[in-house]
Amino acid sequence: MQKMMEKRALELLADGTVSRVLGWSAGEFPYDMTPAVFETAEELQDGFVYNDFCGANLSKYLIKESRKEGKILVFLKPCDTYSFNQLLAEHRIIRDNIYVIGIECYGKADVEKLKAMGLEGITGIYMKDGEYTVETVYGSQTVKAYEAMAERCLACKSKKHVVYDELIGEDGEVVTDCNRFDMVEQLEAMTPEQRFAFWRGELSRCIRCNACRNVCPACSCEQCVFDNPNSGVAQKAAVNSFEENMFHIIRAFHVAGRCTDCGECSRVCPQNIPLHLLNRKFIKDMNAFYGEYQAGEDPDKKPPLGTYTLGDREA
């Protein structure tokens, strides 16, 4: 896969179709790739990497990148294409300046899962036949790929690219039997006291680092209300439980109907708070109340909070 992507990127750079390539660059370890822009063939050959740990959704970078001179090539996984479409619908990116290569995806790995298995001191990870051989300073171990798969990928909603200029690999289908609302349902089935205790336990860990917000493709405001001293609700730290709730409720509300459920918020949370469960609650409710809606699927479809029907359920 990496070879094919690199080859296409080199070709498109060479024939002038694009002047820059947005992908991932190699890290210190086998799993810590950083999103990067490559401008020359040398840079690409030197640093371009694509593997199962390239989970970052690159679409949000296009807000900035598509406003620069020249066309940029971007590699998007199926779930990233939904974010891309949503950004497009919100006029945040300039389509003409972007060349999208859709790349097939069968789920990304989460190094945290490997570490939770006690794999410390990782020096190498090799993928073969659905298994990872993880080499560490303490010895090596083989792990089934699905055991290391990121939570969000286990509940993948779609393997279909909703937008692309060309594809590398196969285009998949929308996953109709995905189980992404299971945990929401479990929470709904609890008593309010249990739910309160659950969320207190989770949200009290928040350190308000804003990683969830800053990585979120829907959170693309010029300035967030929580950073704006004039908004009247600015807060720099979650001083107490109220502010933790306030930040996460309002953030989820602000992205309701715009969140594509890409799962980046939970991926990046340094405190492992399952933030996606807030967004999924809104998604599940909107589906149930107002009919199925998948943000980013069809940029022309009216979002649930941008329309109404006379017979909507009462609040």
Partner 1 sequence: MKKLSLAKLNDLFAAIAQREALYLPVDNGTGKAEYTKWQEGTVYSTALNTGRSAKDFFFPQTENLMEFKMEGKRIDVIDTREECEDFVIFGVRACDAASFDILDRVYLTDPVDTYYKNRRQHGTVVTMACGRPAETCFCGTFGIDAADPKGDVTCWTVEDGYVLRANTEKGEALLAAVDGLLTDTDDKAVQAAQEKTRAILAKLPLAALSTEGVGQGLTKELFDRPEWASLSEACLGCGTCTFVCPTCQCYDIRDFDTGHGIQRFRCWDSCMYSDFTKMAHGNPRVSQLERFRQRFMHKLVYFPDNNDGLFGCVGCGRCLARCPISMNIVKVMKTLAKGGNK
Partner 2 sequence: MQRIGVFICHCGTNIAGTVDVKAVAEALSHEAGVVFSTDYQYMCSESGQQLMREAIREHRLTGIVVGSCSPRMHEATFRKAAAAEGLNSYMVEIANLREHVSWIHKDMKEATEKAIILGRAAIAKVHLNAPLQAGESPVTKRALVIGGGIAGIQTALDIAEAGFEVDIVEKSPTIGGKMAQLDKTFPTLDCAACILTPKMVDAAQHEKITIYAYSELEAVKGYIGNFKAQIRRKARFVDETKCTGCGICTEKCPMKKAPNEFNMGFDKRGAVYIPFAQAVPKVATIDADYCLMLKNGKCGICSKVCGAGAIDYKQQDEIIEREYGAIVAATGFNPIDAKVYGEYGYGTCPDVVTSLELERLMNAAGPTNGTLLRPSDKEHPHTVVFVQCVGSRCTETDERGKPYCSKICCMYTAKHAMLIREKYPDTDVYVFYIDVRTPGKNFDEFYRRAVEQYGVHYIKGMVGKVTQNGKQLRVQASDLLAGEQLHINADLVVLATAIEPDKTARSIGTMLTASMDTNDFFTEAHPKLRPVESPTAGIFLSGVCQGPKDIPETVSQASACAAKVIGVLAKDKLTCNPCVASSDELLCNGCSSCEKVCPYGAITYTDKEFRGPNRTTLIRRVASVNPAVCQGCGACTVACPSGAMDLKGFTNKQIMAEVDAICK
Partner 3 sequence: MQVTEYKPKIVAFCCNWCSYAGADGAGSARLSYPEEVKIIRVPCSCRVNPMFILRAFQRGADGVIIAGCHPGDCHYTSGNYFTRRRMALLFSMLDYLGIERERTRVEWISAAEGAKFSKTMTEFCATVAALGENKRLEDLRCKK
Can you tell me the distance from the alpha carbon of 76 to that of 293, in angstroms, rounded to the nearest whole number?
Answer: 21
126 binds, among partner 3, partner 2, partner 1, none (CB under 5 to 8 A by kind): none
- Token code pair at residue 302: 């009216």
Interacting positions 199-238 with partner 1 (CB under 8 A) = 201, 205, 207-211, 213-215, 223, 227, 236-237
In the set 40, 133, 223, 240, which binds partner 3 (CB under 8 A)? 240
- Token code pair at residue 229: 């001293």
How many CA atoms are closer than 13 Å to the CA of 127, on its beta-carbon side? 14
Assess 70 for contact with partner 1 (CB under 8 A): no
Can you tell me the distance from the alpha carbon of 82 to that of 59, in angstroms, rounded to the nearest whole number?
Answer: 9
The helix/strand/coil state of 48 is strand
Residues forming the site for partner 2 (CB under 8 A): 67, 89-92, 219-225, 228, 230-233, 254-255, 258, 302-303, 305-307
Backbone angles phi, psi at 303, to 5 degrees: -70, 150
Contact 223, 93 (CB under 8 A): no
Cβ at position 134, least distance to partner 1 in Å: 11
Cβ at position 271, least distance to partner 2 in Å: 24
Site string for partner 1, 165-194 (x = CB under 8 A): ------------------------------
Cβ at position 34, least distance to partner 3 in Å: 34
Cβ at position 284, least distance to partner 3 in Å: 9
Assess 278 for contact with partner 3 (CB under 8 A): yes
Assess 92 for contact with partner 1 (CB under 8 A): no
Q: Which is nearer to partner 1, 35 or 303 (CB)?
A: 35
Contact 201, 245 (CB under 8 A): no
Assess 249 for contact with partner 1 (CB under 8 A): no
How many residues sit close enough to partner 3 to count as binding (CB under 8 A)? 41
According to DSSP, the residues that pair with 21 across neighbouring strands are 38, 73
How many CA atoms are closer than 13 Å to the CA of 117, on its beta-carbon side? 17
282 binds, among partner 1, partner 2, partner 3, none (CB under 5 to 8 A by kind): partner 3
Helical spans, DSSP H, in 190-314:
192-203, 211-215, 241-255, 264-268, 276-290
Q: Which is nearer to partner 3, 137 or 310 (CB)?
A: 310
Burial class, 90, CB count within 10 angstroms (exposed 0-12 / middle 13-18 / buried 19+): middle
What does the longest C-alpha to C-alpha distance in the chain come to?
65
Could you list the residues that contact partner 1 (CB under 8 A)? 27-29, 32-37, 56, 61, 112, 115-116, 120-123, 136-138, 201, 205, 207-211, 213-215, 223, 227, 236-237, 239, 264, 267-268, 270-272
